[in-house]
Chains A and B, each alone.
Chain A
Amino acid sequence: MSEFTKNWVYTDTVKEHFMNPKNVWEDEGFKADGFGQVGSMACGDQMRVGIQVKDDRIIDLKWQTYGCASAIASTSMMSEMAIGLTLSEAYHLTPAMITERLGGLPQHKFHCSVLGDKALRAAIDDYLAKQNRDNPYRASVAKVICECKNVTDQRIEELVKTKQATTLEKLREITEYGTVCGKCQFKVQQLFDEYKHIYNV
């Protein structure tokens, strides 16, 4: 056993997907029915996902990632998990599901590097938009973060992404999150930082 596999910071599964990533978008001829990209090189992580869809099922997926070992491995794992899924199933893939299949990631890696599911959702959004179809999945993946004011993660994501909320103060002004019981403040702050990172704003 080499030094590399002994006491590595990541699991063997992460190592395998990092050293031998699956479904990398290397063939320039690959024609994507839907395309999604999240993150930025300035943030240190960027992911690009292309999907081919038949009968609302993902029949093939290719990706590219700029980032650390866990970013590359988690996108690779996501690609293996997503191929063969229906659009609905694929839309509901979460970072936790990907991380679990990888056998876990160091805590500080979880939020910044597992963006594959978001790139995949962006690709599905793009596919449905190109087909001029409604997106029946979007609402169902929304999680209520502030129960008092009914603020969802999607609403926060949207406000950060579109730069309507560039600061937490602005976000509070718009959504009134955390103004009643205040229980959600930490969670909102975490999400706010995460979306700022993902959308490089």
Chain B
Amino acid sequence: MIKVYMDNNATTQMAPEVVVALNESYGSYGNASSMHAFGREASRAVNQARHQVALSLGAQDDEVIFTSGGSESDNTVFNLCRDMIDAGAKRTRIITSTIEHPAIIETCAYLQKRGYRIDYAPVDQTGKIRLDALQDMLGDDVLLVSVMAGNNETGTIQDIVAISALAHRHGALMHTDAVQAVGKMHIDVKAWGVDYLSLSAHKFYGPKGIGALFVRKGAPFEAFMKGGHQEGGRRAGTYNTNAIVGMGKAAEMASAEVDHEKTLLWNLREKLRRGIEASVSGVVVNGHPVDCLPGTLNVSFPGAEGESILLMLDYYGIAVSTGSACATGSLEPSYVLLASGLDVELAHGSIRFSLGRYNTEADVDYVLEKLPPIIARLREISTL
């Protein structure tokens, strides 16, 4: 059976090179914190991986802290800000956006319920943060601005350089969730001017359950996970040596191949977009037409509901995701699409195709063969 995986924003297939690196690392089982030879061997592997990750971000080695993934990295930043506010910081307000990943949206909702002040910068119809609105929200009481680099649902890329500059002009710290951006665009923490940046290995062909947080040297910090002295006391917990090695390899490959990958993914994405627009009537392409993660294509199909489209594609071996409420188990469809001003019905009928390194033109052709009759059939059944 033909299988086409187009859900790379959910997770990616591990690169064969990463699998090799992982397999090799299983021989070294020492605790990287131990002083003996076993420990030193593991420690050397961890430090090499740290260097690989740091290089891919334009950071220094000691600015990289390993975590369990994007959610922990995001939570660490919000938790340290909460600590600062609790400790009596003059700045007590956090600004984020309406389209952040749940790791941030839900954390903010939690903090808000406990009385912390959070403001949400709105986005325009393409999903771009409205810089004028953000500017109006900023003030000398703002502690942190947190805006994602590239959106997981629509792919819309934010102008992090400009947002960082704005935040810093008002004396606020700047965090970006770059989980979707790594490997798909050049990342340079110095040029971006961010104080904190979150990333997760499994989004760029690395293993699951491992990520990192960039913390600019000199930026305030407080450990989220307390305990042992790993990471210089900044993140407790025995080093997951193997996963860290896998992440290091994946990061090295991501930065080495980013130009090639950007071109490859964008060409496939555009072929898919043009093909869908030519073969299905009335489709709406969501997100920004150009400032978009190269492999992400979010499309709404009026008259057909997202979960139904997803399951019919699944029948033919094609994996995608949807912003429909039915897939989430709630009555509300994607808050990201609604925040961009998309009609509720269009949000229910949205499908996200997210392409990756291992997709081919033949994959796109297969989707373009199967998708149009599925939409046509669902529209026949529909009350449209």
A residues with a Cβ closer than 8 A to B are 2-4, 18-19, 21, 24, 26, 37, 41-48, 64-72, 106, 108-109, 112-113, 193, 197
Contact = CB atoms under 8 A, between A and B. Distances in A.
12 contacts: A2-B1, A42-B344, A44-B331, A46-B382, A64-B383, A66-B382, A67-B308, A68-B308, A69-B307, A69-B308, A108-B329, A112-B325
Nearest to B313: A4
Given A69-B311, A72-B308, A197 B382 contact: no
A44 B307 CA distance: 10
Given A3-B317, A44-B348, A48-B383, A66 B305 contact: yes
A44 B325 contact: yes
Contacts of A66: 303-305, 381-384
B383 A18 contact: no
Given A19-B315, A44-B326, A67 B305 contact: yes
Interface in B319-348: 324-327, 329, 331, 333, 344-345, 348
B315 A4 contact: yes
A37 B325 contact: no
A70 to B, nearest CB: 8
A24 B305 contact: no
Nearest to B384: A66
B308 A18 contact: yes
Contacts, number: 80
Interface string B357-384: 0000000000000000000000011111
B309 to A, nearest CB: 10
B380 A24 contact: yes
B305 A68 contact: yes
B380 A26 contact: yes
Contacts of A44: 305, 324-326, 331, 333, 348
Contacts of A45: 305
B383 A46 contact: yes
Smallest CB-CB A-B distances: 10 pairs: A68-B326, A68-B307, A108-B329, A66-B382, A44-B348, A42-B344, A46-B383, A4-B315, A41-B345, A64-B383
B270 interface: no
A183 to B, nearest CB: 26
B106 interface: no
Contacts of A109: 326
A108 B331 CA distance: 10
Given A24-B380, A66-B382, A106-B329, 18 more contacts: A4-B314, A4-B315, A21-B381, A41-B345, A42-B344, A42-B345, A47-B383, A64-B382, A66-B303, A66-B383, A66-B384, A68-B306, A68-B324, A68-B326, A68-B327, A108-B329, A112-B325, A193-B331
B317 A24 contact: no
A106 B328 CA distance: 12
Contacts of B1: 2-3
A196 to B, nearest CB: 9
A43 B118 CA distance: 29
A4 B326 CA distance: 18
Interface in B284-326: 303-308, 311-312, 314-315, 317, 324-326
A71 B306 CA distance: 12
B381 A64 contact: yes
Contact of B331 (A2, A65, A112): A112
A169 B312 CA distance: 42
A173 B3 CA distance: 57
Contacts of A106: 329
A106 B314 CA distance: 19
A3 B3 CA distance: 10
Contacts of B383: 37, 41, 46-48, 64-66
Contacts of A4: 314-315, 317
A37 B305 CA distance: 18
B81 to A, nearest CB: 34
Tell me which of B3, B325, B327 has the highest count of chain A C-beta atoms within 10 A of its own C-beta. Answer: B325
A68 B309 CA distance: 8
Nearest to B322: A68
Contacts of B303: 66
B185 to A, nearest CB: 33
A70 B327 CA distance: 11
Contacts of B315: 2, 4, 19
Contacts of B305: 44-45, 66-68, 71
A167 to B, nearest CB: 17
